[in-house]
């Protein structure tokens, strides 16, 4: 894309432990001209986290000032801490000729879709509840009460999968990275005013396999493993 072109905005949401951070990091290596929006948060830093890398860490007073000034595309209070996506990153992406990647929860994704109706949304699902629980325990970051809270939250979040344009079931990492790459490249290709090569058409076909309408059957067993209610037929 050129600097005069409106940037594409890609939203990625997933329950904690689904491998979303690994996928987004790999995506940024695989796809050129794609920048990551670093969220603002009022929570304390953890471990080796650095300001401006994992998050922009700010005091509540500054976060409230940004809200009042209309500086957020979306913001939410999650477990007592506030998180928000600054409009500044969208402006900078447009000026630099890049597309924008947002890593946000289902609350924030809904707000973004209200403000930016052409944003492309991707929901990352674990293959089942058992695998998600294993991942949460294996990373060794959280005590048991936090793990249980994350699993409960995952059940709620997963039930919202049908609000997204694409659903990516993250079972095999390499395959999931390739599909995520295909989604981003496909959305760019669909905006080109020219004939597509055979390889480009294969990229679009791979992305299409992750579209919501094409994954419904595969998603149902995952929902069942979380005892999450399936969406109604009218959804």
| CATH number for position 13 | 3.40.50.300
pLDDT of residue 4 exceeding 70:
no
| 26 is a domain residue | yes
Local structure of residue 209 (DSSP, 8 states): T
Residue 208's domain comprises 9-36+105-225
138-148 pLDDT tens trace: 877 778 888 88
pLDDT of residue 103 exceeding 50:
yes
pLDDT band at 234 (very low <50, low <70, confident <90, very high): very low
| 28 is a domain residue | yes
Radius of gyration of the chain (CA): 18
| 1 is a domain residue | no
Closest CA to 115 of 136, 100, 133: 100
Share of the chain above pLDDT 70, in %: 94
d(CA 95, CA 92): 5
pLDDT of residue 2 exceeding 60:
no
More confident residue, 94 or 176: 176
Which tokens go with 140? 């060794």
117-167 pLDDT tens trace: 999 999 999 999 999 999 888 877 778 888 888 899 899 999 999 999 999
| 109 is a domain residue | yes
Local structure of residue 54 (DSSP, 8 states): T
| 50 is a domain residue | no
* Number of compact structural domains in the chain: 1
Beta bridge partners of 211: 166
Annotate 59-96 with b (16+ C-beta within 10 A) or e (fewer). Answer: eeeebeebeeeebbbbbbeeeeebbbbbbebbeebbee
More confident residue, 65 or 235: 65
With contact defined as beta carbons under 8 Å apart, do 43 and 81 qualify? yes
| 53 is a domain residue | no
| 182 is a domain residue | yes
| 208 is a domain residue | yes
pLDDT of residue 105 exceeding 60:
yes
Residue 104 neighbours by CB distance under 10 Å? 23
pLDDT of residue 76 exceeding 80:
yes
């Amino acid at each position: 894309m050129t600097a005069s072109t409106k940037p594409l905005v890609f939203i990625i949401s997933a329950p904690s432990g689904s491998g979303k951070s690994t996928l987004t990091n790999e995506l940024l290596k695989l796809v050129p001209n794609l920048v990551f929006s670093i969220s603002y948060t009022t929570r304390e830093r953890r471990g080796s986290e650095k300001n401006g890398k994992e998050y922009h860490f700010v005091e509540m007073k500054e976060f409230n000032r940004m809200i009042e000034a209309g500086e957020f595309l979306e913001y939410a209070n999650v477990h007592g801490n506030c998180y928000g996506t600054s409009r500044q990153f969208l402006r900078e992406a447009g000026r630099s000729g890049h597309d924008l990647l947002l890593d946000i929860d289902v609350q924030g994704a809904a707000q973004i879709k209200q403000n930016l109706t052409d944003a492309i949304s991707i929901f990352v699902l674990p293959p089942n509840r058992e695998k998600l629980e294993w991942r949460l325990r294996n990373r060794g970051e959280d005590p048991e009460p936090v793990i249980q809270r994350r699993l409960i939250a995952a059940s709620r979040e997963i039930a919202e999968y049908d609000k997204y344009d694409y659903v990516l079931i993250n079972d095999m990492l390499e395959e999931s990275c390739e599909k995520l790459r295909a989604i981003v490249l496909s959305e760019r290709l669909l905006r080109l005013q020219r004939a597509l090569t055979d390889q480009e058409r294969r990229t679009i076909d791979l992305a299409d396999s992750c579209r919501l309408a094409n994954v419904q059957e595969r998603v149902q067993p995952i929902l069942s493993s979380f005892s999450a209610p399936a969406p109604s037929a009218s959804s």
